[in-house]
Amino acid sequence: MIDLHMHSRYSDDGELTPETLALGCLEAGIGIFSVTDHNCVRADSEAREAAEKLGLSYLSGGEFDCTYKGRNFHMLGYGIDCGREFFAGLEQAAADQSRRASLEMLEKTRKLGFSVTEEELDQLSSKGFWKGRWTGEMFGEVLLSRPEYEGHPLLAPYRKGGERSDNPYVNFYWDFYSQGKPCYGAVAYPSMEELIEGIHGAGGIAVLAHPGASLKGREEVLEELAALGFDGIEVFSSYHSGAQEEYFLETAGRFGKLVTCGSDFHGKTKPAISLGEAAGHGGGRAGEITVRVLKEGGIL
């Protein structure tokens, strides 16, 4: 089995160490994996060392934010030289903007009528690598733990039995803190063209992450994006239904793009998502297709 999309503690919304992720892959029967942290490649050496000790195959990677016509997207980079200054620059740019964006999210959350303190959020962030950097998931975790908000209507969908309760924290992020939502904290990212060029310059391939989640009904934009020169599409994803997988598989073939699969595992942020989950779709078909096309493309 193969899983090319997972996050370690070096993502601001991740939880586990790269070594723990590698052990999880071994237990789940995943033979090929990649740790793809947000705008950060710090996990590379730890994950690679752990993979070698456990007899697993590791592919260097990262998940990087970018924009196209003012809209945010995620691009996965695989087989990259993680020592390139380009990636250090992406990490630094995100870090430089994080506190301002965090405070913007706090102000907007309070405007919704919620009482949240900086101390509560700092306490949560102190458990991770990026201390003082707050995420929409952290806001959700704080608010859902508050007894005084037990019956609040805005939080009802994320509580047990609610329609958004499968992954409550990340769903709260998507609904309130992602781009265009009421509590979004603006961050400037490179254009998709710049990011693709940077990934290629580092010897890697660029793969559009979970397009079903990013496009959300605007799949026609994919034809424009494909012309920008990325190399593959994350067809098999925990975000995608079977019908979406078939659609993106056909689209990848039509545009001559590679096919990849990934669970987008985070840990407590997405408790309903397990390592290797996307590769398990269709009885392992996702993993088989991904391995085949990556080998044909000389990536594996």
Domain endpoint, select from 176, 204, 236:
176
Question: d(Cα 125, Cα 138) in Å, to the nearest integer?
Answer: 8
Q: Which residues pair with 205 in a beta bridge?
A: 78
Domain containing 156: what range? Answer: 96-176
Task: Specify whether 216 is located in the same domain as 292.
Answer: yes
Same domain membership, residue 167 and residue 217: no
* Per-residue pLDDT tens digits for 242-297: 899 999 999 999 999 999 999 999 998 888 899 988 766 655 676 676 777 677 66
Looking at the structure of the chain, the number of domains it has is 2
The tokens for 146 are 């508050």
Identify the CA nearest to 219 among candidates 233, 237, 198, 230.
233
Residue 171 domain flag: yes
Residues 249 and 260: beta-carbon distance below 8 Å = no
- Based on the domain organization, do 170 and 279 belong to the same domain? no
What integer pLDDT is reported at residue 1 of this predicted model?
86
204 and 291 share one domain: yes
Mean pLDDT in order along the chain per 10 residues (300 residues): 95 95 96 96 98 96 96 96 97 95 97 94 90 94 95 96 95 95 96 98 96 85 93 93 91 93 92 82 65 68
Distance CA 54, CA 212 (A): 33
123 and 206 assigned to the same domain = no
Q: What is the pLDDT of residue 216?
A: 80
Which residues lie below 8 Å from residue 140, measured CB to CB, with a gap of 6+? 158, 168, 169, 171, 172, 173, 176
Q: Is residue 182 part of a domain?
A: no
> In CATH, what number is assigned to the domain containing residue 262?
3.20.20.140
**pLDDT (tens digit per residue) in 224-240:** 999 999 999 999 999 89
What pLDDT, on a 0 to 100 scale, did the predictor assign at position 72? 95
**Are 66 and 202 within one domain?**
yes
**How confident is the model at residue 279, as a pLDDT?**
65
Residue 290 sits in the same domain as residue 191: yes
Residue 156 lies in a domain: yes
Q: Is residue 181 part of a domain?
A: no
Q: At a CB cut-off of 8 Å and minimum separation 6, what does 58 contact? A: 22, 32, 33, 34, 47, 48, 51, 52
pTM over 0.85: yes
Half-sphere exposure of 223 (CA within 13 A, CB side): 3
Query: Quick one: pLDDT at residue 294?
Result: 72
* Same-domain check for residues 284 and 191: yes
Please indicate, yes or no, whether residues 84 and 102 belong to a single structural domain of this protein: no
